[in-house]
Amino acid sequence: SQQGEEDPQALSIQEGENATMNCSYKTSINNLQWYRQNSGRGLVHLILIRSNEREKHSGRLRVTLDTSKKSSSLLITASRAADTASYFCATDPGYQKVTFGTGTKLQVIP
């Protein structure tokens, strides 16, 4: 079963714009992770935020977590064509068993 639901399912933006995608989940978590998947490839880990953290940055990525609302958002600033990919949130209840969401398909137009 899918724990997380990403929103929107698909997003198309111009290069240089910011992209925001959201993830909602149902049960308590120890941490939440975001992964990227380029077409036809495996997933690549982007960033992990723990349940006691509210915001985390990594390069052009900014992740927020609101455990009271059971939601997280991923912001990619100054997007590039190379950011075109599917993005998945994954929730971990605390024993390295992550459950992936349904994904947001991002297209960045040059």
The residues of the shown chain that bind another protein, judged by CB under 8 A, are: 2, 4, 31, 33, 35, 40-45, 48, 88, 92, 95-103
Nearer to another protein, 15 or 56 (CB): 56
Could you tell me where the beta strands, DSSP code E, fall in the chain? 5-7, 10-14, 19-24, 31-37, 43-50, 55-58, 61-66, 71-76, 85-92, 99-100, 104-109
Q: Pick from 86, 76, 74, 89: which is nearest to 26 by CA?
A: 89
In the complex, the smallest distance separating the C-beta of residue 72 from another protein, rounded to whole angstroms, is 15
Nearer to another protein, 16 or 94 (CB): 94
Nearer to another protein, 13 or 43 (CB): 43
In the complex, the smallest distance separating the C-beta of residue 45 from another protein, rounded to whole angstroms, is 5
In the complex, the smallest distance separating the C-beta of residue 99 from another protein, rounded to whole angstroms, is 7
Q: Pick from 69, 64, 87, 61: which is nearest to 25 by CA?
A: 69
Supply φ then ψ for residue 98, to 5 degrees: -90, 150
In the complex, the smallest distance separating the C-beta of residue 41 from another protein, rounded to whole angstroms, is 6
